[in-house]
A and B are shown apart, each in its own frame.
Chain A
Amino acid sequence: ETGVTQTPRHLVMGMTNKKSLKCEQHLGHNAMYWYKQSAKKPLELMFVYSLEERVENNSVPSRFSPECPNSSHLFLHLHTLQPEDSALYLCASSQEVLAEGINEQFFGPGTRLTVL
């Protein structure tokens, strides 16, 4: 266990559905991240939050909407997704966005999303 949990672990949704992914970190970190991992592609950074403020939106389509109500919780709201959005969505946290010393990211187990 890395101290980062994600729910649900698996999600199948139609293109007209609205769903949300949830991430919670129990590490007291100030930074949280959403990544998309598709087969045979590098991890793609989607969003970065520092103390509940979004510091990065990496040209992500508006059908993905993040929410960070506090430094321990991060959501990714999904609506009108496309089949090519099917992927593993990983949440991660780190002590800070920018930090001296080792600033490793702790990843959750991911949500395997399939869009039909």
Chain B
Amino acid sequence: GQQVMQIPQYQHVQEGEDFTTYCNSSTTLSNIQWYKQRPGGHPVFLIQLVKSGEVKKQKRLTFQFGEAKKNSSLHITATQTTDVGTYFCAGREDYKLSFGAGTTVTVRA
């Protein structure tokens, strides 16, 4: 079955620095979604990417979908304390959304 791998599992970032989290699927995806879960909270939708090679930006967050539609990345610039949480990618194949294990981000002020 479809598997979605996410790395790194943990990311400790100095405030102001940039970082990237990566997502890889074992199968070709129809689209990929990204969610953020704050500590003690629930996943909240951030964005959906559909097209091969698509790039979308939300302020300091840049999302990319690979040309083969099997991988994706989230890049955050100038990390702030409000960025703490776990970022999940979720790959869609048919009606099933398979979540990666997430990248948990902590920020050092």
Contacts and interface: CB of A to CB of B under 8 A. Distances in A.
Interface of A: 2, 40-43, 45, 48, 55-56, 90, 97-98, 102-110
A98 B100 contact: no
B72 to A, nearest CB: 15
Interface of B: 4, 9, 33, 41-45, 48, 88, 90, 92, 94-102
B9 to A, nearest CB: 8
Given A48-B95, A102-B48, A104-B48, A42 B42 contact: no
Given A48-B95, A98-B94, A42 B33 contact: no
Nearest to B104: A40
B100 A42 contact: yes
Looking at chain B's contact residues, the main secondary structure is strand
A103 B95 CA distance: 10
Contact of B44 (A2, A40, A102): A2
B43 A56 contact: no
B25 to A, nearest CB: 12
A108 B33 contact: no
Contact of A40 (B43, B98, B101): B101
Which residue, B9, B96, B97, B99, has most C-beta atoms of chain A within 10 A?
A: B97
A91 to B, nearest CB: 9
Given A55-B95, A103-B48, A107-B44, 9 more contacts: A2-B42, A41-B101, A42-B98, A42-B99, A42-B100, A42-B102, A45-B97, A90-B43, A105-B43
